Structure 1
């Protein structure tokens, strides 16, 4: 029977056995939502960096015209980097370019998950597409839904996103075993509204205070995109359609 777990923060990955498992990483506001938006807009790849210095070292080895640097630290855009929210990134020409992306939590979570057999980045917008792919390709693998969280703290928006993914799994044919955290996430999703949950979260309130309501609204649209993003050799790339 396929086992489904939800990890409340990226720090929980440190205690997990990852070999043979599938990890789906969520940083709804905004790292994984932004990375997926870039791929949906035609970016060749998104390279998650650990911090600004790591991002610049990656960029130094690539052709400048084919890359774009974007990122934040503690919700402040890094100097010289593009603003890291999805709609802001979509104002750039991303076609056939590589996005080098550094965030406080989401890109770090992707690095922490790399020991898993497969690593995917997910958001509310591509939840159904991601689960359909995982069920096709990894129907018998244990799945870890990883909430990036915020510097070791629980995040409402990531837990809501985890609940959306778990709800998709509950609705799919087949026998599965869900951890208590997975069942709690699904209960939150099924009893709440996406936009309200994201707006009410700490990060959502911060974005509203900065007049970035449209960015939160973009992230709060379940199943709006069909892109599936897998981490391959340290790069998020779009999985070809079946």
Structure 2
């Protein structure tokens, strides 16, 4: 039987302790939702980086027509990068390499890159990621990493972790640590109310105040897509899952 453990913040990731474990990174608002959306809307690959400087440096390795670079720092736009708003970028992603820098999610991916396998999950693709884990890693320790925000626990990430755990438990039995139980109990108490939870979160409130309510609604959709982004060679995310619904 495999084991599920939730890490509450990116600051709590110990790169040495993730080795030989499977990591699933969550940043519901907004990095892993953006990554899920990028693959669903035709991105060739996603390059997650820690900083604006790394994003700009990575982008120059591709011709202008082959790359799209986006990023934010503490929720604000940064010079030279598009804002990583999923609904606004969808039409520009087909066939592109997507370079992404965010305050929390891409940093968490970088810190956990030494894991046996690493996946990016959101509410949009949580069911698909759970199915992949159940099929490929049934006896492993799964570290479900909530990126958090500003060094604090993020409500939306903990809810997303609970949703992922719920999906995993539908397939098989898992041993749950206390942190995994906490996430599951939060989700079960608010099942079917994802948008309410996201709107109540600190980051969600800030996005709504900033005029990005559409992004919050989009991020709150559970089980919409079958895209499964997995980190390859520690640097690039590629889609490894069955894609559903089919792209049009």
Structure-1 separation of matches of 2:4 and 2:104: 22
1:107 Cα deviation after fit: 0.5
Alignment match, 2:219: 219
Contact 1:31-1:85 within 8 A present in 2 as well: no
Distance 1:138 1:151 in 2: 31
Partner of 2:4: 4
Please, which runs of 5 or more residues in structure 1 have no aligned partner? none
Partner of 2:180: 182
Corresponding residue number in structure 1 for 2:246? none
User: Deviation of residue 128 (structure 1)?
Assistant: 0.5
CA deviation after TM superposition for structure 1 residue 31, in Å = 0.3
After superposition, what is the alpha-carbon deviation per residue over 1:88-136, rounded to whole angstroms, capped at 9, x for unaligned? 221x421110011100000000001101000000000101000001110
Query: CA shift at 1:59, angstroms?
Result: 1.2
Structure 1 residue aligned with 2:19: 19
Q: For 2:71, what is the secondary structure of its paired residue?
A: strand
User: 1:235 maps to which residue?
Assistant: 236
TM-score, structure 1 normalization: 0.96
Aligned length: 240
Coordinate RMSD, CA, aligned: 1.3
| Cα deviation 1:50-81 (Å, max 9, x = unaligned) | 10101111112222210011000010011121
With over 3 angstroms needed to count, the CA separation of the structure-2 counterparts of 1:168 and 1:70, relative to structure 1, is same
Q: Is the 8 A contact 2:70 2:99 kept in 1?
A: yes
Deviates more, 1:76-85 or 1:45-54: 76-85
* Cα pair 2:56 2:80 within 8 Å, conserved: no
Change in Cα spacing, 1:99 to 1:125, as seen in structure 2 (3 Å) is same
TM-score normalised over the length of structure 2: 0.94
